[in-house]
Each structure stands twice: as C-alpha cells, then as structure tokens.
Chains A and B, each alone.
Chain A
Amino acid sequence: MTQAGPEDLLAIADAACRAAMRAGADFADASVERGRSMSVAVEKNALKSSDTRGWASISVRAFSAGATGWASVSGTGLVAARGAGRKAAELARAAESDPGFVDLVHPAAYPDVAGLFDPRLVEVTAVEVAGWITGNIDGARGVVDDALVTGTARASWWEWALANNLGVAVTQPGTSATVNLQVVIRRGDDVGSYHEWDAARSLAQFAPGAVGPAAATEALRYLDSRRMKTGTLPVVFGPSAAAAFLQGVCAAASAEEVQRNRSFLVGKKEARIAAECLTLVDDPLIAGGLSSAVSDGDGFPHVRVPLVKEGVLQTYLHNHYTANKSGERNTGHSTRGGIACTNIIPSLGVRTASQIIAEVTDGVYVALAQPHPDTASGQMSALVDAGFRIKNGQLTYPLKNTMIAGLAPELLLGLDAISSDYRAEPGRVLPTLRLQGVRVASGEGA
C-alpha cells in the first residue's frame, strides 16, 4: 500500500540512523520493511474468506556505551523514522552499559543468492491463490469422498532494507507462496487426520497441487489408532519430526544461550555432541531456500556454516554481538533481537527410510511431532501427533495418546541412522532419523 521503493527504504533507514546518532547514540542501525500478502482460507471444503494485508514498519536500535534502546513504529515515513531514531537513542541512555558490546557490523560485499524474489508473485491475483487451494479440495476428495479439507493458501511479497551508522546498506526483496492443509476423515467416532504443506519462494518451485491428495492419503492411514505399551524403544523420526528435532538442537547452539549459560551445549564447542553419522551444515545461500537471504538481521553477509561434523560441534551460532564478545568468528545468524539457524542440511546416510524402518523389530515411527529439546535442560518430551507402531520392520497401526521423551545429549548420541532418501523442500533436505533408547509412554495395548 506504501509506494516507496527499495532504495527509498534504504534512505529511510539511513535517516533513522542519522537521527539516532544526532540524538547521542554511539552506534545505530535501522531496518525498514513493507510488504503485502494475499490469502484465501477454506473451511470444510468451501472457500471461507479472502484477505489481503499490507504492512510497513521501521525498527531502530541505538547503542549508548553498549546499552541498547530500540523503537519501532508503523509506516515508512521520514518523520516517523527520525522520531524512532531519536526515541531509540533516548532509551539506550536509560539502559546500562554493556562491556560485551564492541560495535556494529562493518560494510562488506554481499553474496548473490538467486531465487528469493519472483515478480510473478507480486502480480499474482486472488483468483490464482484461490486456485492453489480449491484444486486441493478436489484432489483430497478424489482420494476420499468425505474428506474434510480446511486450510489456507497465501502469496506474500516484501522488501526489507537495513542501514547502520558505519555504512552498512543492504536491501532484500522477497516473495513466498504457501499452502497449508488439514484433512480430516471421520468414520463414526473414529478420526483420521493429517497436516500437509508446500512452500516456495517462487512459482517455479511451488507445486501445491499434491498437498490435498497427500494429506487425504495420510489421513486415511491414521484411522483406527491405538495405544501401545510403555517402554524404551528405538524411534524413527520421519522428515517433518526429524527437522523439528534438529531445529531444536540448533537452537541450543545459539551463542546467546551459551554465553548466558542457558544451554545444554555450553562447553561443547569442538566436542562430540552426537553420533558420528550426524553432520549438519547451515546454508543460507541456497538458491530459492525458504530461509535463504543475503545477510542476517545485523546486515552481516551470510555464509555457509558447518555446524556439526561427524558428531562434533564445530561452532556456536553467532550474531555480531556474541561473536565480538567471545572473540569468535561471526556466523551471521542474527535475527535482530535473537539468533536462529537458517536452512539446516544434514548429510545423508546410505540406507533408505524403508530400510531403516525394516531394521526395527520393536519401535515407533513419528511422522508429526514437536520434539524440541528444552534449550537449558536438554529434556525432550513430546506428544506423537501422528505416528505408527513399528513391529518386525513394518508400520503396523497408528498411535494415539503416546508420548516420547529423552535427554537431547543422550538422544543425539543414540542417533544411529540417517536415511539416504529425503523430503525436499526449497533449501531444505529432510531425511529420516532413527534414535535408540527413547522412552515411549502410552496407555495400554501391545
């Protein structure tokens, strides 16, 4: 809705920084973002609503003797930008100096990362977005007549610019397209359901038409779910559950959490944290990657970062502040207020997911779950949202009311297989993992 272009956004960010510096800040940076999204929601197989959203905001950080003040405001106007800059500087003076703060990111060349902006997604119409999801209703019902489809399709476009008082000036336009669907199948009191999605940064990589049929096919498999006996068993994480687990582990590698002594990975740099089969690379430079970008939130140029090599933690995830504080190399993981991984790429194993499952005599397969370990304690305790009992190498029956638990440091050492096949999403490689010695709790059953 706002008419500023990317260069204008940079000028606005620069004006905010200058205002902060004039107001007494030692350092300042400012980000400006504007964007628009269009979404269509489906409820019970019928289109429910069509929405379009526009946003525009300025966020300024000012530093005074290392103390941080920040201010954010709506809009992309120069007056608002300057006001936010002055406010951030004023607030920084109210905080206390931080001896760990050195400076902000210095200007540097940025990498080329292709495929993050698709002009066709800026021009996409609501009718086209509606087609992404209504086609999936037919697709799901082609699999199961009485499938109930609920979900959303969305196209988004945004421009982001960041400047700091040291001369950093970076802009990043972006686009994305997503479809998220939940399919429910009822047979009396019995319910089978599944969640599927597709996401991409460009239309060329977007293939939403398979989402509905896939969700319906999976939902059918989850009818007649049962409990199982409580025990300690091998657990196979399917691609989605595995990705959630690994993301949780990477969150504990945040240097902010480590430096504040809030992580189970404190003191583990260059130490073994997982079985030898685990190698992870964080790669924000993948063309069209869902979490790809040319820079992090501080304006530091993104780089490919080996995170875990054959089970050994190679580095913590840093932003400019934590890297300076510890005297380590900046890995470029600032989210401007936090630290987060980008595209996590595990090295693949030599056996397929089917072969890994076939080796399990008695265990559990977890398709969907939120098995994030607690960053401080490493404790993981999660509900199996969708999963199967494995018996004699076969998925036998779907599970209900079943939980899995363990300590992340032990679970990572108990990791004994990563599949050679994987679910591919833009910038993401999602293989299957197998963990030994996971505590499985349920009601009764076999």
Chain B
Amino acid sequence: MYPDISHIFAAKAQRRRMLAALSWEEKVAIIERMRSVTKDMWTEMEVEHKVYPVWTPYDAHDAAVTLRDALEEDDATSVTSITTDTSA
C-alpha cells in the first residue's frame, strides 16, 4: 500500500494559484529575487570557490540506498500514520 499524497499536490496547486494572483510587480520582484540568489551563487563559486552539493544521476543509486536506509532506521511511526490516514 502506498500513502495518499493527493494533499501534497493540492497544496502545490493552491500555492501556484496564490502566486498567480499576486500583482505583476510582486511577481517580478520574486523573479528578481530568484535571479539575484542564483547570481550570488555563481559569484561565490567563481570568486570564493565555494562548493554547492548538486544532485546528479550518477549518484542516484547510492542516494536511493542512503534514503532507504534512513527510512528503515526511522521509527516508521510517521509512515504508519500516513497509511492509516489514507485507509481512513
């Protein structure tokens, strides 16, 4: 049995509607902020040689194993509650 994640998609859709309803000026301010954040990252990487972790498909298998192990180590109560909620 898999958890029902429809509420996650519903929340995403709600967030998109909320963002779309902002004024044009507010939305452009968000774009400008996104641009400045990524620009800062590039500057830091070039000037200060900072390193940012980046996901790559080459590590996907190892990452999946790490995630699975972490989930197995977890007390599993949260997963159980999601499953229970779904069946209810």
A associates with B? no
Residue ranges of B at the interface with A (Cβ–Cβ < 8 Å): none
Residue ranges of A at the interface with B (Cβ–Cβ < 8 Å): none
